[in-house]
A and B are shown apart, each in its own frame.
Chain A
Amino acid sequence: MAKKNKKTQKNKSKKTQPKKGFHFEYDEALESTAVVKLKKKYGLFIGGEFKASKSGKTFKTENPATGEKLAELALADKKDVDSAVQAAKKAFKAWSELSGKERGKYLFRIARLIQERSREFAVLETLDGGKPIKESRDVDIPLAANHFFYYAGWADKLDYAFPGKKIKPVGVCGQIIPWNFPLLMAAWKLAPALAAGNTVVLKPAEQTSLTALLLAEVIQEAELPKGVVNIITGEGKTGAALVDHPDVKKIAFTGSTDIGKTIAKAIAGSDKKLTLELGGKSANIIFEDAAIDQAVEGIVNGIFFNQGHVCCAGSRVLVQESIKDEVIAKLKKRMSTLRVGNPLDKNTDVGAINSKEQLEKINSLVAIGKKEGGRFHEVDCALPKKGYYCKPCFFEGQTPASTLSRVEVFGPVLSIMTFRTPDEAVKIANDSNYGLAAGIWSEKSSKIHKIASELKAGVIWGNTYNKFDPAAPFGGYKESGFGREGGLHGLYPYVEVR
């Protein structure tokens, strides 16, 4: 047999080798969901316990990848908000008087527990929010744990953060977070607040509450004193009740600029402290002396990361005229390798749009872009039949006045413009109500530093994009909000300095 086989091999050797390139289609590599035990109903986490809403009302949360219902969540109304705030108020004295060292140890515990249950968090995040498992696994969950680790270490070193000053915590903080990075935003909000000795009522977005509720379990497991963190689920009205509550001393909100403005107005007559992380229309500027292949990666990462549901997304690409054709040719080619589809597939690069409403909003803005006459290009790929999906796309030949150059889409839709000189790039980049982030691509670092100093944006990525780290302050200029999250500066909003 051996001999026969050898002969066959010899004769057929040419035949068995692919003459043309072989079609390398990756098989589906689904992440198992067995690690997640979904409950049918979830309660509100108030005073360390899970309870139903007082009204008994609930709402449903769905998987945007399929449109199927995942669970029923308690709908908190004014009374529930009040009991959560009261629980936080009751817990404040003991928590704020606890030594920083002990507070820090609780935060370290939470960080470790998130790491230990990271797979469960990742799968749940993807199920509830539609983001690719690759991202929830490699970005959201590790960064959330890291954020707790980072601020855990500050808790007993606040004297170094505010040298020569006397500080005290603010009190009960009301924190409202968005649906694009549910667990990570919860971590961004909770960790500095707790480190500084505040107690919290946190309201996750109604579309994506499940990982916050899993975090509540972790908080229970960490034996955090009851009432220090309260997590209430609900809709806009729930958030409004939290904002309006007289015993809430500080509001921290991440979300749309419209709602941010509403909140700012709502508390205008009070002494409440406020920090806002709002929208953006961030410019990603590609100079002709950039490393083009890496810049193209930066464009892709800037706008297609998390389906473009990123407040700092590089949604305006400004490319120097002399390299426009090369950049666009390479971008198209690169986009053709993006894998759009089931978020649980480990090979998926672009997952599901977070909700039906968001998909409709994106589609309507794309329609406006088309109507305004931008040259449109989208990835040629099949989309799943069920669920909410959008093909990654861009508009070329845009102007600073184009709707898509001004309005935040919060989806995988890119607006591309050209510029001629560095001054012009800065001018176009700053020509926005927003000022959250910007990217600068050039191999000339003196140019990067000059442009960085002239851009009105809170986060500048030189030769990279969409990088986050607990040690790096994040936040915007202008209508992108105020206050910083992350780093030493992330502590400022959570203390009163005397």
Chain B
Amino acid sequence: MMDISIKTHKGKIAIPRYAIDMVGADERAASFTKRSIKKKSKLDALYCAISMTDLTTLEGADTVEKVRQLCAKAVNPVPPYIQHTLEGAKDLKAIPCVAAVCVYPNMVPIAAECLEGTGIEIAAVATAFPSGQFPLNLKLKDVDKTINYGATEIDMVISRGEFLEGKYQKVFNEIAAVKEVCKGRAHLKVILETGELKTYDNVRMASWLAMEAGADFIKTSTGKVSPAATMPVTLVMLQAIADYYRLKGKKIGMKPAGGIRTAKQAVHYLVMVNEVLGEDWLTKDLFRFGASSLLDDLLRQIFKQATGQYFDTDMFSI
């Protein structure tokens, strides 16, 4: 298969069609789940995972109060009333806050108000999330308005329909245009919606297209399509990031989103990042989890490590 040629303002570039063997990628992804992460290394990973979480609510039913509650949890993941249980526990450090809160554009002003001064990023989904089936000028307005509302990170969706039609240039142009709007104002995460791209070959090519078009992060899913993030899809994207760094010298971030609900899963993802990209990527600047219920399980596992008791997840809920 021929590489895809894309016109940019700097001239033509090639998007390689880089083959992925599905069975091999699945096997390799599964191998990370065989790692046995115990004791201090587990605790470290759990802390790290919290600090990398984009705590997310993306519902039509989201309200101001719901977002306020979410922000409170983002700042202070452990409810104050049980913090005493951790006192004196071995190896226990202060629980970090999450990396970002991720909401719809309308909710950005609320989040911005709640999170002011906390260092927590305000991520917003834009560009006609989740379908992306809007005209480009509206998408760009969406992004611009959202940044004006106070978003520091934009999670855009690519046009999967156009990608599957083979209109790669159009997909590229859209990402590049969104990037122009974001430049100097907000970080850009590009959602590939891998559950709709279906094949790993597509995921790999879309990853490359997004990185070339200016993505700071590439992200698996909107959370509205099943399957959302999976280990093998994330592996394929991580390997694309590794190659991009090897060839272009630029570090791109990764965000699996949707479907990661347990601490065990999160640790598996971190093992995978560690072994595919190395510890440089084990920072919120380059890796995020897009999740809502994950945080509670991470806390539960930390409390288990610290106190020897399993806590009810209800104890951490919003």
Contact = CB atoms under 8 A, between A and B. Distances in A.
A10 B37 contact: no
Contacts, number: 131
A386 interface: no
B284 A10 contact: no
Interface stretch (B89-97, B132-140, B160-168, B215-223): B89-97
A337 B99 CA distance: 28
Interface stretch (A25-33, A240-248, A364-372, A406-414): A25-33
Contacts of B270: 24
Given A2-B80, A17-B284, A18-B283, A138 B34 contact: yes
A16 B96 contact: yes
Contacts of B23: 463-464
Interface stretch (A50-58, A60-68, A290-298): A290-298
Given A1-B84, A24-B45, A12 B20 contact: no
A464 B35 CA distance: 22
Nearest to B93: A16
Interface string B214-242: 00000000000000000000000001001
Contact of B76 (A6, A17, A291): A6
A299 B16 CA distance: 23
B75 interface: yes
Interface string A119-144: 00000000000000010001000000
A340 to B, nearest CB: 15
A347 B278 contact: no
Given A6-B75, A17-B284, A291 B20 contact: yes
A29 B38 contact: yes
Contacts of A9: 75-76, 94-95, 97
A18 B51 contact: yes
Contacts of B284: 17-18
A337 B275 contact: yes
Nearest to B276: A337
B227 to A, nearest CB: 20
Interface residues of A, number: 43
B284 to A, nearest CB: 6
A214 B119 CA distance: 60
A270 interface: no
A139 B119 CA distance: 48
Interface string B98-118: 010000000000000000011
Contacts of A498: none
Contact of A22 (B20, B21, B271, B283): B283
Interface string B1-40: 0000000000000000011110111011000001111111
A24 B41 contact: yes
A29 B80 contact: no
Across the A-B interface, the 5 shortest Cβ-Cβ residue pairs: A2-B80, A294-B24, A29-B36, A21-B282, A346-B36
Given A2-B81, A294-B28, 14 more contacts: A2-B80, A5-B80, A5-B83, A9-B97, A21-B281, A22-B279, A22-B283, A27-B38, A27-B41, A29-B37, A289-B19, A291-B19, A292-B18, A337-B275
Interface of A: 1-3, 5-6, 8-10, 12-14, 16-29, 134, 138, 289-294, 297-298, 329, 333, 337, 346-347, 443, 463-464
